[in-house]
Structure 1
């Protein structure tokens, strides 16, 4: 009887060990998939950031001359405003009753 109990206990322990092993393997596989996914996402982020930097540099090369031109035009306008006399601001009074 003792050997039957020993065999039954060994069988139960074997089934439990197989079940634990299966759970551990599934968890290990899930962790590996998550690690691969994280590396893939990091690569995508790096690639996207590099592409964004290229686009930003291209935009800056286009906009910088325009901003410089606008600054020159604003400065020239201020110089002209200061150099030219102010326009005459006299307003003729309205004619009541129309012209005579």
Structure 2
């Protein structure tokens, strides 16, 4: 009768199907490893960018702090020079009137 299958055909198909499933599982497993590695690299890249950004922000803050301090020093020096110039002018005016500031030339 023509309806008989060869003995072991079902077993061979089952083995072939199991091997195909095993190969697919290995592909999925490897893909997941690659995905995990890629995610780790992305996290590290993000961490590095954040760290660099914070470092640059700290440098900018430090530079601003130093610039502010330098500006204070320059302003103080200009004010001192202005006060000294005004005092010299005041002394000159007093000297022109025949007067002097006591203890001005120490």
1:56 to 2:71 alignment: yes
Larger radius of gyration, structure 1 or 2?
2
- Tell me the TM-score normalized by structure 2: 0.61
Q: Which runs of 4+ in 1 moved over 2 A?
A: 64-70
Kindly report the root-mean-square deviation, in angstroms, between the aligned alpha carbons of the 2 structures: 1.9
Q: Give the drift of 1:67.
A: 4.5
* Aligned match for 1:19, one of 17, 34, 41: 34
* Aligned match for 1:8, one of 9, 20, 23: 23
- Tell me the TM-score normalized by structure 1: 0.64
Match of 1:19, SS state, is helix
Match of 1:40, SS state, is helix
What stretches of structure 2 of length at least 5 have no aligned partner?
1-15, 90-106
Which fold has the larger relative contact order, with Cα–Cα distance below 8 Å and residues 6 or more apart in sequence? 2
What stretches of structure 1 of length at least 5 have no aligned partner?
74-100
Q: Give the drift of 1:62.
A: 0.8
